[in-house]
Amino acid sequence: MTEDLKKTGTTILGMVCKDGVIIASERRATTGTLIAHKATKKVYKIDDHLALGTAGLVGDLQVLARYLSAEVNLYRLKRDRNVPIKSAATLMSNILNQRKFYPYYVQLILGGWDSEGGHIFSLDAAGGAIPDKYTAGGSGSPYVFGVLEDQYKDDLTADEGIDIAVRAISAAMERDAASGNGIDVAVITEKKFRMISEDEIKTRLEKFGK
């Protein structure tokens, strides 16, 4: 087994806000107790309206992100419109379910914005796809859920959601040894896909005394 296929330990989250969808993660990749990489990509831009947050084995995650991106691009080329978020979640669910006896070792959060608004889906290795307003995954998820349960509201703006995401991932990084080395946050609105800059994340952390 290669090193890439042994990296585990992650914190990811997703939440739906009234004007956008947030997908966030930290950046540490571990191999047992070794910090194997400090700048691992865990939030993938699948399309301009769709992102994938990933936890699990890096090799599996990269394959699935490429697979989904290709299928979403083919959908747009054939139909001249973006794939609905629910359809993308169903596609990924079917891909995962086909391998349930020799599974991809992953936990995924798929989120984005379509004609019906914002959506997130939590997907497990056997292909289960559960829609929700907010969710978390990976080894740091218990700490993230603590923040989300306390802070999430139905009428959150995307700007408020970014603050909560940064705070939640930061909380996980303080207590989960497999999470750390920075934060990535993607914001998907009706008009655009945006990755939050390092400087903006630092400024938001400073508001919480981090």
Work out the mean pLDDT of the chain and round it to a whole number: 93
d(CA 162, CA 158): 6
Contacts of 203 (CB under 8 A, 6+ apart): none
**Which tops the pLDDT comparison, 35 or 90?**
90
d(CA 141, CA 168): 9
> Measuring CA to CA, how many Å separate 91 from each of 59, 62, 68, 127?
20, 16, 8, 9
Count of other CB atoms within 10 angstroms of residue 95: 17
In this prediction, residue 4 carries a pLDDT of 43
Q: What percent of the chain has pLDDT over 70?
A: 96
In this prediction, residue 62 carries a pLDDT of 95
In this prediction, residue 9 carries a pLDDT of 74
The structure tokens 């959060």 sit at 109
The enclosing H or E element of 123 equals strand 117-123
**109, β-bridge pairs:** 53, 122
Domain of 121 in residue numbering reads as 4-207
Please state the domain count of the chain: 1
Q: Report how many helices (DSSP H) and strands (DSSP E) the chain contains, helices first.
A: 5, 12
Give per-residue pLDDT as tens, 137-153. Answer: 999 999 999 999 999 99
Six-digit token string for 77: 């080329």
Give per-residue pLDDT as tens, 47-101. Answer: 999 999 999 999 999 999 999 999 999 999 999 999 999 999 999 999 999 998 8
d(CA 151, CA 103): 34
- Please count the residues of the chain: 210
Is the pLDDT score of 184 beyond 60?
yes
In this prediction, residue 8 carries a pLDDT of 54
CATH number at residue 173: 3.60.20.10
In this prediction, residue 11 carries a pLDDT of 96
In this prediction, residue 2 carries a pLDDT of 36
Q: Which residues are catalytic?
A: 10
Helices (H), the chain: 58-79, 85-97, 141-151, 158-175, 198-207
**Which tops the pLDDT comparison, 12 or 30?**
12
Strands 183-188 and 193-195: antiparallel
Six-digit token string for 114: 């379509």
In this prediction, residue 108 carries a pLDDT of 97
Is the pLDDT score of 119 beyond 90?
yes
Rounded to the nearest 5°, which phi and psi values hold at 126? -90, 0
In this prediction, residue 43 carries a pLDDT of 97
d(CA 147, CA 38): 24
